[in-house]
Structure 1
Amino acid sequence: MRTASLVALWCLVVSVAPLLSACEQFERNAHANGLAAPAGMRREQIVTANFVLTAWSRIGRSNQQIDVYIEGDGLAWLSRSEPSLDPTPREATGLALAVADPAPNVVYLARPCQFTPMALNPRCGVPYWTGRRFAAEVVTSMNEAIDQIAVRAPGQRINLVGYSGGAAIAILIAARRRDVESIRTVAGNLDDEYINRLHGVSRMPDSENPIDVATGVASIPQVHFSGADDEVVPPEVARRFVRAVGGRCSRVQTVPGATHGGDWSHQWPALLAITPGCGGGR
């Protein structure tokens, strides 16, 4: 703790650009550690074929289901045209949601290149948090991490929660697995082609689009929470996805007054009480 305080003090007085960058990385990591520690979540690294991923986990009961939270895109862009050199989120909304979950088994997965030192991820580069952020190899890596998490509660099912771009990953993973009990998305990018067209930005031909696998998750109970005041991913995105899913297991829950980057974690305990289900049973 004393070391962290000294580093934080040093960061207040440095003025050289590379040192400022190092300080910002420290601050983002310190913020995440500070969120997770009171919830009893332990930081770890999960090695997959393509990436080393950073996670925070709390597995308290091996006979209970596991809630897996997937982070958003993080600090992917500095401006509309300038990508970041480090996508680690300044405020990890996905982690804040996980911390607010009282379940005995909760795991938070950061996206590739977030929180993990770049030296451990030679494959990391700007494409993996811009045009390739939903690429097949990204989905595969995240899915491999969940495989490693699942063995900690053998035979138990997985509840996926994805925030923003993490919602896209959650859907793409769910379409590959047979142990997913439910899906919840928060301000979710569920149709990247539609969203990019809406904002007049480039298409992502090297990424998979979750709406393309909508029918593949049609039997999984799911709730898509959308902020009524979200101008980044407006509620119509979730409505379009639910229409594509069809059936009786998917619905949209619009949250009054909520914006894309708002304080979702404050409302999360109440939203968690809204249980995904299928009309008349699965």
Structure 2
Amino acid sequence: MGVLLLTGCSTIPTPGERIARAEGLVSDHGWQSIILDTEPFKVRSFVELNPERQKPLTIYIEGDGLAWKTRTEVSDDPTPTDLMWLRVALGHTSGNTAYLARPCQFMKDINTNCNPSVWTEARFSSEVVRSMNRAITELKRIYHATDIKLVGFSGGGAIAALVAANRDDVVRLITVAGTLDHRVWTDYHNVTPLHASLNPADYWRSLQRVPQFHFIGGRDVTVPKEVAESYISRFPVYARPELEVVEGFGHTCCWEKERQKLYSVVVD
């Protein structure tokens, strides 16, 4: 799977350096870091200090992070090296907002039942989805929220969809470059299937009731539009989610620079 996720870096910041950068960033924005004990994993979240009560809560779910060090070497810590999605979450100022990392990200030296399968073949496993679902429930409690909106990037889009399929309080599901049909994704790249993972496309029946909007970059070679198109094709014509292919955008470029496009859909 490394061929999909990282082309190799000469110098990778240590997990501690990545965590320090994130904590400095959230502190500058008046947010704080918390750890949610969700069983079987502890999950890191960055939250606002003084949210408004009884407001809808928008939760930005991180992508797969540093799953692989090189094309052939699995990472020993999946904490993202690029904080793009965190910066996008921090820039969302309409209503209450939180950022939710994936299991084992931003968790250096904390015993969280982590092993490389959690960020490789089992990244969307039932255990991971259950843990993320519990984390979202806890964030909803902390914020005293009534409804929630889930906004997932890349693999975080898959998590958002899988969680939404099992909840009745998700009023909006939005993904950016989401891995919404990982079987098509692995077939497209001719790599090992994610046998230990749930596949969002299989849950289309439960997801019919959830308002959705999905973005894909027209130049995205990591998660090409065929992945989202396959997911959407599972739905009956009358219930198909909206899909926008944004020409000129890649997997990470230029979602942060043009984030108002995303925000306008989130607050719609």
Output the TM-score relative to the length of structure 2.
0.90
C-alpha distance 249-100 of structure 1, shift in aligned 2 (>3 A): farther
Matches of 1:165 and 1:216, distance apart in 2: 19
Where structure 2 has 5 or more consecutive residues not aligned to the other structure, the ranges are: 1-10
CA shift for structure 1 position 36: 2.2
C-alpha distance 155-71 of structure 1, shift in aligned 2 (>3 A): closer
RCO higher in 1 or 2 (8 Å CA, sep ≥ 6)?
A: 2
CA shift for structure 1 position 264: 1.2
Matches of 1:180 and 1:229, distance apart in 2: 30
1:28 corresponds to: 18
C-alpha distance 93-57 of structure 1, shift in aligned 2 (>3 A): same
8 Å Cα contact 1:87/1:114 also seen in 2: yes
Which of 58, 68, 73 aligns to 1:67? It is 58
Amino acid at match of 2:68: W
Which of 89, 93, 106 aligns to 1:102? It is 93
More helix by share: 1
CA shift for structure 1 position 276: 8.3
Matches of 1:83 and 1:158, distance apart in 2: 34
Which of 179, 202, 211 aligns to 2:201? It is 211
| Cα offsets for 1:67-108 (capped at 9, x unmatched) | 011100000012232110010000133212211211231111
Q: Which has the larger radius of gyration?
A: 1
CA shift for structure 1 position 189: 0.5
Amino acid at match of 2:166: R
2:218 aligned with 1:228: yes
8 Å Cα contact 2:124/2:197 also seen in 1: yes
Q: State how many pairs are aligned.
A: 256
Q: Percent identity?
A: 36
2:151 aligned with 1:164: no
| Cα offsets for 1:42-83 (capped at 9, x unmatched) | 111111110111110115111210001110000001223211
Matches of 2:96 and 2:265, distance apart in 1: 19
Amino acid at match of 1:61: E
2:131 aligned with 1:141: yes
Which of 250, 255, 258 aligns to 1:259? It is 250
Matches of 2:171 and 2:180, distance apart in 1: 19
Deviates more, 1:96-105 or 1:63-72: 96-105
2:180 aligned with 1:179: no
Which of 30, 36, 39 aligns to 2:29? It is 39
| Cα offsets for 1:211-235 (capped at 9, x unmatched) | 1112211111111010010001111
Amino acid at match of 2:125: A
Matches of 1:211 and 1:107, distance apart in 2: 26
Output the TM-score relative to the length of structure 1.
0.85
**Counterpart secondary structure, 2:184:** helix
2:110 corresponds to: 119
Matches of 1:243 and 1:276, distance apart in 2: 26
**Counterpart secondary structure, 1:152:** helix
